[in-house]
A and B are shown apart, each in its own frame.
Chain A
């Protein structure tokens, strides 16, 4: 099976802009989670989607949002970008009823 894929791999944006990141889970996985990784804060949970519904949410401001499509692909959006949003954004998928999460390669977002 193909692994988790994420596009784009790299993005450069300026403050105030918005950005959309995409994640395709492993075939058959319906749960997709998003994490932000920074040197200072480490890996932090953003949200998790299952069957097009947000099932869990982390402690991030409303500028961070996501959605999931009927084919389980997921997108996350960050509006009004701030310098502190520069990070590696990772998505992970897991099979139904199993905790194991498998990560994609991430999208490196740089906000200037």
Chain B
């Protein structure tokens, strides 16, 4: 089955700096790659996603890039703010025709220091 690796597991940055989280996936048939943000005690919230026919997608301070050849995708957050502090999860789906089965990475705890 699909396997998603996520790095780093923890990331600490100063407010205003950029943060990058990287994920790799194992199944080349995966075609959908969402990123979720989960604050303590809250539900995971979809913040951005990308499909396999697109190489990059931006939404204000957040961007995601996808390299299908290398089977990795990354989340970029610019001008970080304290409210960006949370656990971020990457995920992949689509392998084996399972479009609605998300395989998640283990998560990255991002801390933005004021």
Contact at A48–B104, with CB atoms within 8 Å?
no
Cβ distance B46 to chain A, nearest Cβ, rounded Å: 6
Q: Which residues of B contact A99 (CB under 8 A)?
A: 32, 34, 49, 51, 93-94, 99-100
Across the interface, B34 reaches (CB within 8 A) one of A44, A48, A100, A104, namely A100
CA distance A56 to B49 in the complex (A): 21
Q: How many residues of A contact B (CB 8 A)?
A: 23
Contact at A31–B44, with CB atoms within 8 Å?
no
Q: How many residues of B contact A (CB 8 A)?
A: 25
Known contacts A43-B89, A99-B32, A99-B93; decide if A33 and B102 are in contact (CB<8 Å): yes
Interface string of A36-59 (1 = CB under 8 A from B): 000000111100101000011011
Contact at B43–A105, with CB atoms within 8 Å?
yes
Interface string of B80-97 (1 = CB under 8 A from A): 000000000101011000
Q: Which residues of A contact B102 (CB under 8 A)?
A: 33, 35, 43, 45, 101
Contact at A42–B44, with CB atoms within 8 Å?
no
Across the interface, A56 reaches (CB within 8 A) one of B36, B42, B91, B100, namely B100
Known contacts A42-B106, A42-B107, A43-B89; decide if A103 and B44 are in contact (CB<8 Å): yes
Binding site for A on B (CB under 8 A): 1, 32, 34, 36, 42-46, 49, 51, 89, 91, 93-94, 98-107
The residue among A48, A99, A102, A106 with the most chain B CB atoms within 10 A of its own CB is A99
Which A residue's beta carbon lies closest to that of B4?
A42
Binding site for B on A (CB under 8 A): 31, 33, 35, 42-45, 48, 50, 55-56, 58-59, 90, 94, 99-106
CA distance A103 to B46 in the complex (A): 9
Which B residue's beta carbon lies closest to that of A94?
B100
Q: Which residues of A contact B34 (CB under 8 A)?
A: 99-101
Contact at A31–B46, with CB atoms within 8 Å?
no
CA distance A105 to B45 in the complex (A): 10
Q: What would 5 more interface pairs be, CB under 8 Å, given A43-B104, A56-B100, A99-B34?
A: A33-B102, A90-B43, A99-B49, A103-B36, A103-B44
